[in-house]
Amino acid sequence: MKVMIFIDNSNFHKSIGKLKFDRAQDRVIDYHKIGQFILKYLSNNLQYKNEYLSHIRTYYYDGEYTDNLITRIKSHLGSIPNLPENQEEIHKLNGILEKAGRRLEAQKREMKRNKWFHFFEVRLKPLQYREDKEEVFQKGVDVQLAVDLVSNAYLNNYDVAVLFSGDIDLYESVKMVKTLGKHVVVFSHRNLMSEKMIEISDFYVDLGGLHDNQLNEFTHIFEERP
């Protein structure tokens, strides 16, 4: 059976991040190990015990930090008069700008690593900035994931879709690919999982319920270097 993996990185990263509070474990994801972990995990499930499972490709979806985003935040910051009554807002925007700058550089390093992974496809959508709410937000990431999930099902490119996301926006897409005879397995932390997504998936795996040895197969505990 052909297996495709679809990772909503925002949801996946938050799921693993919750282990910091659940178990006092600060874990880092090893994306190049995801495919191997999934094949092993599914093989141990009775549904796939006697099946030959083949990993076709992993799709990775995330919002992209860009120079244009930094420019928009700087422009908004520069438009605010440097007056005492505006200091709280200026401080907040400086924090947003600093965080975006750090994330931009970190993402560049991560994408440089990811491009060397085999059968690993990155799908990024530029992050947007909303001046009225002074926030950075994703736009189009879940739509791209949904399109790829459905189109690959129609093209018969997979038999089993493994979805790292509990986003309710994917409900109709999951429902559609199931009508095409595809299996859908969903991984997400229980606190980030929609009840309707649990119901529509063929089976659901709570990332917070995996034991440490399983987590070690695709993550490692972060250690500060001296």
pLDDT at position 25, please? 85
The domain in which residue 47 lies consists of 2-64+120-139+158-221
> ∠125-186-18 over CA atoms, to 5°?
75
pTM of the predicted model as reported, rounded to 2 decimal places: 0.91
Residue 40 lies in a domain: yes
d(Cα 39, Cα 24) in Å, to the nearest integer? 28
Residue 113 lies in a domain: no
Structure tokens at 175: 């429902």
Residue 11 lies in a domain: yes
pLDDT at position 76, please? 93
pLDDT at position 88, please? 92
Residues 39 and 3: beta-carbon distance below 8 Å = yes
pLDDT at position 178, please? 96
Residue 35 lies in a domain: yes
Residue 97 lies in a domain: no
* DSSP character string of 86-153: GHHHHHHHHHHHHHHHHHHHHHHHHHHHHTTSTTEEEEEEE-EEETTTTEEE--SHHHHHHHHHHHHH
- Report the domain count for the chain: 1
pLDDT at position 225, please? 44
Task: Supply the CATH number for residue 128's domain.
Answer: 3.40.50.1010
d(Cα 5, Cα 21) in Å, to the nearest integer? 27
Residue 199 lies in a domain: yes
Residue bearing tokens 């910051």 = 77
Mean pLDDT by 10 residues, the chain (226 residues): 96 90 88 94 90 95 94 93 90 93 90 85 93 90 95 97 92 96 95 90 93 92 60
Residue 111 lies in a domain: no
25 residue type, one letter: Q
pLDDT at position 53, please? 95
Residue 151 lies in a domain: no
